[in-house]
Amino acid sequence: MSDWILYGANGYTGELAAREAVRRGLAPILAGRNAPALEALGRELGLPTRIFGLDDPAALRQGLAGAAAVLHCAGPFVRTSAPLVAACLAERAHYLDITGEIPVFEAVLARRRQEEAREAGVALLPGVGFDVVPSDCLAARLAAALPDATHLTLAFAADGGGLSRGTMKTMIESFPHAGAVRRGGRITPVPLGWKSRQLELGGKRRNIVTIPWGDISTAWHSTGIPDIEVYVGMPPSAGKRLRRMSPLLPLLGLGPVKRWLQRRVDRRAPGPTAEERGTARTYLWGEVRNPAGRTVTATLETPEGYAFTAVSAVVCVQKVLAGQVPPGSWTPSQAFGADFVDAIPGVTGSPPRPA
C-alpha cells in the first residue's frame, strides 16, 4: 500500500488509530509536533516518524512529500484542518480527518473545495470516525426510505465510556457558540440545550437534548433534507445545567478563559480506558418525516465511540488508497454508501420502517 501519514498519532485517538493500522498490517508514517512522544511510539510499533507543525506552509508541504494520503487526528480541527487541507491539495494527497465540528465540515464540503479537490485529483473526507460515520449512514438510509422527507431527527446515547482530553478541548474551543439546528437548509444557531424530549433508546427510556453535532452539516450534504436536529442522551439535571450556561458563553469564549479551561482538562485522564472502550456501547436512532406526516425510523448500535473511530478511520484510508473514492469532497455515506457502517465489527441495527 502507498505511504500514508497519520498526523497527530501521539494523541489519544491518533494512537488508537496507529495501533489499529499495525493490527491490520499497515505501516503509516507517524507525524506531528511532539518529537519525543512520536519517536517513542514509532519505536514501539516499528513505524517511521516525521516531525513537523502546521503553522509553516513550506515545512508542512515538505512533511507531506511523497504521501498518498493523510489521516488527520490532531484537533481542535477548526484550527488545524485548513492548513492541512491546503497542503494536501498542493501535494495531491488525499485528506481524511475525524472531526465533528460543523465549521470544518462546511469548509471542506464547500463547492470551492470540491472543485479544488477534483482539479487536484484527491478526495477530501472529513468525519471518518464516530463523528459522523454511523449517524451519516443512518441519515442516508432513512432518506432513501422516504425520498420526499423534509425533516430529519437523529439521536444517540452511550452506556459507558467517556470523553478524551482532545474532545473536551475541542468543545471548549467552540465557545462562545452554542447550539445549532438546520432550518430550511440553513444552519441556525439555537441556545444550549434548546430542546429536550424522551426517547426509547438502547432498551432504556432516556432524556435527550439538542446538540450541535456534525450531522447538522453533513446530513444535509448527504440527503438534502432541509430541517435537521441532533440530540444526545443526557439526564434532565444535566440538561438544565447546560441551559443555565447560556448567559456565561461570552465569558467562556474569551481567550484567557479558554486557555485556563484547557489547562484544567490536561489534568484529566487521556480518555476512556481499554476496558471501558471494550465494554461501552453507543445507540443511535433516526427519524424522517415528509410533508404528509409520514415517518420512518431506524436504529444502529455500535462499539464505544473512540474504539469505533480507530477502526473506521483506518478502513476509510484503506478504501481511499485502493481507489474506491473519486476526487472531490465527500461525506462518509457519499463516499462509501449508506451501508458502509455495517463493515465495522460490532455494528448492528434495524432497517428503516414506518413509525
In the chain, what are the domain boundaries? Answer: 4-129+307-341, 133-304
> How far is Cα 93 from Cα 85, in angstroms, rounded to an integer?
9
> How far is Cα 198 from Cα 200, in angstroms, rounded to an integer?
7
Q: Are 10 and 4 in contact (CB under 8 A)?
A: no
CATH of the structural domain 133-304, one choice from 2.40.160.20, 3.40.640.10, 2.60.40.10, 3.30.360.10: 3.30.360.10
Is the pLDDT at 166 greater than 80, yes or no? no
Mean pLDDT over 128-149 rounds to 97
Question: What is the CA angle 298-303-304, rounded to 5?
Answer: 115
Termini Cα distance of the chain: 45
pLDDT for position 250: 73
> How far is Cα 200 from Cα 204, in angstroms, rounded to an integer?
5
Q: Are 71 and 15 in contact (CB under 8 A)?
A: no
Question: What is the CA angle 243-174-312, rounded to 5?
Answer: 105
User: How many residues are there in the chain?
Assistant: 355
User: 176: pLDDT confidence band, cut at 50, 70 and 90?
Assistant: low
Is the pLDDT at 251 greater than 90, yes or no? no
Task: Give the DSSP per-residue string, 34-61.
Answer: -HHHHHHHHHHHT--EEE--SS-HHHHH
Tens of pLDDT, residue by residue over 180-194, are 999 999 999 998 889
Tens of pLDDT, residue by residue over 331-340, are 999 999 999 9
* Number of Cβ within a 10 Å radius of residue 131: 26
Mean pLDDT over 75-103 rounds to 96
User: 247: pLDDT confidence band, cut at 50, 70 and 90?
Assistant: confident
Q: Which residues contact 353 (CB under 8 A, 6 or more apart)?
A: 296, 297, 298
> How far is Cα 202 from Cα 168, in angstroms, rounded to an integer?
25
Is the pLDDT at 1 greater than 60, yes or no? no
pLDDT averaged over every residue in the chain: 93
**Percent of the chain scoring above 70 in pLDDT:** 97
Is the pLDDT at 175 greater than 60, yes or no? yes
Task: Give the DSSP per-residue string, 141-166.
Answer: HHHHHSTT--EEEEEEEEES----HH
The three cell numbers locating residue 66: 511523497
Question: What is the CA angle 122-128-132, rounded to 5?
Answer: 130
Is the pLDDT at 71 greater than 70, yes or no? yes
Is the pLDDT at 174 greater than 80, yes or no? no
User: 252: pLDDT confidence band, cut at 50, 70 and 90?
Assistant: low
Which CATH class, in words, describes the domain spanning 4-129+307-341?
Answer: alpha beta
Q: For 165, what's the count of Cα atoms within 13 Å in the CB-facing half-sphere?
A: 15
| Strand partners for 187 | 182
Question: What is the CA angle 101-141-77, rounded to 5?
Answer: 10
- Of 16-20, 143-147, 223-227, 242-246, give the lowest mean pLDDT range: 242-246
Is the pLDDT at 303 greater than 90, yes or no? yes
> How far is Cα 341 from Cα 130, in angstroms, rounded to an integer?
10
Is the pLDDT at 79 greater than 90, yes or no? yes
pLDDT for position 260: 83
Same fold, 4-129+307-341 and 133-304: no
